[in-house]
Chains A and B, each alone.
Chain A
């Protein structure tokens, strides 16, 4: 992703106006509705990338000011303070201080505050005001504040803070025009800092600020803010958050403060809050403190000892049941569409290699993956909903004790839950975990959660196990749920083991806000889904298309003239690889044809279905090939017995639950852990587990059910 090195085309600003913002950042606390506002301002004009060198998501969008000029908007990670506690918060701070190499310092900061929570929101706001950059303060969720009886004297607050204040309801797009007006106005710096530290502390901070000023050619206000952030660091966090060249300077300054005998760390927070409280006393009229909010009533049920668990399990079951039932219809449409494409291409292309490549390679390959788009979207829809309503934090609250048992944090629950959709966002979401060891453990186990790419494999295997309608959808869903549970249970067992052995450490601290429940903005949910769908389709159009062609070539060449399709396949490169690994995978119940699928899946799991499509349709002399599950049910071993017995289906599913078969995840783990050691370890331990698990599953099913 590229970031403008400088504000874009400020060719000729309208006559009479000074400089306007063309590069602004949205900053604010987590749950302040910052991203909702970002979506409301930029719509679909967004680009998601990463900051150079780190893996924090960088979201940049475009909007137009009231003069019709383009403005680039950066959505910073949510943070409570500029004293940082995680890689995400560090990025937010560094962008604001202007020390990130690939991101120029914003010309304007739009600070988003939750109107219901003004006092705490003003903590970050006041730190941002210290930076000597133009600031607009947005008071979001004014509707909820009003409903709760909170009254804010905006005029008065504006004069006390000295910056424009815009009340908005981002989820309903109320107040956007005044906000755009404020953005269009010429840039104006906020008034100088008015809160003060106790004199001795203030002079030490100033001394450090002077050093920063000289060393980094910063203005005094920025240097002062930088000095405060630096002083708040612990010994062990300093080297993570500040360049080596200033460590001794910072440590010396801390020692001098220590020598004053004052409670200087507390004073840095308390002085600011004293100032904030005096402002709030003048402008905020709180609602009835004894009023019970809707959110509190809902929590009465959702975090209840009994009802909490029932609703939690109910929601998870509903999610998987929906994936299994509702998705069927759009899947049938997609299947019909690709079938029509295939016969169209078959009828209009001349007989030959190109036709075979297009029909058997490209269309069936891509089609058999795109068909799972509805299921993947439903999954992302649910996860997005859980996140945007605020339920995700409750889930972490409920689960923390359990996670704690295996040495993890309630916050690990969220990356792990995301991994049910896809391990890549899951591994990336682990960045919100402050403790590096816990983050590593979470990353190591995240790919064991059954991601949506496994869903095609489970779906087709379950369909193969029950070819008739004799078994209800509920029972099928139960088997699928079992696969999800297996992955989760193994993950927890390993988390416990890792915490005891490789990554020893104390269980991390949990300090987590439980935001009020909200009705999610349709825009946020749809933008989220759109980003997911386009990523998936891009992937199907590039990686999976390329792999489909490669696999088709491997399965077609070298050609055996005048041979039956199955003989031709056996003689192809893929067939030879499959044959070569057959002795190794035979104890799991797999033959060489499944072997081809396994080999292909090491690139990406969903390849299995398209590979199998090719493997078994090739065997079919007929042009009109039957659906894959029928082909599976017709498949026979050399001795004439069915290939896909229930034992083989289960064994195959277990293999897919446990094995690390995703190049993209390996790449992300490599990036997140900054070494090859961990992804390689992960590939070996997961594949080893998969082999053992499948072996046990195959033999157990045969032993108990005789098939």
Chain B
């Protein structure tokens, strides 16, 4: 499952990042690492981009990049 497939309010843990090159590095530098717990806060009013929350801060990225982040959803998330 990838990050863009989660619904708003759902939490998950990052399992793999498939982005390449400098985008991959920037995502990791911002703290999106394997094992990082993450929450999808909301989708922008027009469906894109996505707002996510991790390590205590909020970041927005487009679905296209979110699709490169593999996650395993938390079991009890609603």
Contacts and interface: CB of A to CB of B under 8 A. Distances in A.
Interface in A97-129: 116-117, 119-120, 123
Chain A contact residues (Cβ within 8 angstroms of B): what range?
35 or more
Interface stretch (A264-272, A334-342, A571-579): A264-272
Contact of A511 (B21, B47, B55, B65): B65
Interface string B7-51: 000000000000001111111111101000000011011111101
Contact of A404 (B29, B48, B51): B48
Count chain B CB atoms within 10 A of each CB in A286, A303, A304 and give the residue with the most. Answer: A303
B33 A116 contact: no
B62 A81 contact: no
Contacts, number: 113
Contacts of A515: 57-58
B56 A116 contact: yes
A270 B26 CA distance: 12
A303 B27 CA distance: 23
A236 to B, nearest CB: 9
Contacts of A117: 55-57
27 contacts: A81-B26, A83-B25, A116-B56, A119-B55, A120-B30, A234-B21, A234-B22, A266-B24, A273-B28, A273-B31, A299-B41, A299-B42, A299-B51, A393-B60, A397-B49, A397-B60, A400-B44, A400-B48, A400-B49, A401-B44, A401-B47, A509-B65, A510-B60, A511-B26, A512-B60, A514-B59, A515-B57
A511 B22 contact: no
A303 B45 contact: yes
A634 interface: no
A308 B61 contact: no
Contacts of B45: 303-305, 308-309, 398
B11 to A, nearest CB: 10
A269 B48 CA distance: 28
A293 to B, nearest CB: 10
A324 interface: no
A400 B63 CA distance: 12
Main DSSP-derived SS at the B contact region: mixed
A669 B48 CA distance: 31
Nearest to A300: B42
Contacts of B42: 299, 303
A304 B41 CA distance: 12
Query: What are the 9 A-B residue pairs with the smallest beta carbon separation, nearest first?
Result: A401-B46, A514-B58, A269-B28, A305-B45, A81-B29, A234-B21, A120-B31, A234-B22, A512-B60
Interface in A409-455: 410
Nearest to A81: B29
A232 interface: yes
A80 interface: yes
Contacts of B46: 401-402
A59 interface: no
Contacts of B48: 400-401, 404
Contact of A512 (B28, B47, B59): B59
Contacts of B24: 265-266
A401 B62 CA distance: 9
Contacts of A150: 56
A81 B61 CA distance: 18
A200 interface: no
Contacts of A476: none
Contacts of B22: 83, 85, 232-234, 237
Contacts of B33: 269-270, 273
Nearest to A296: B41
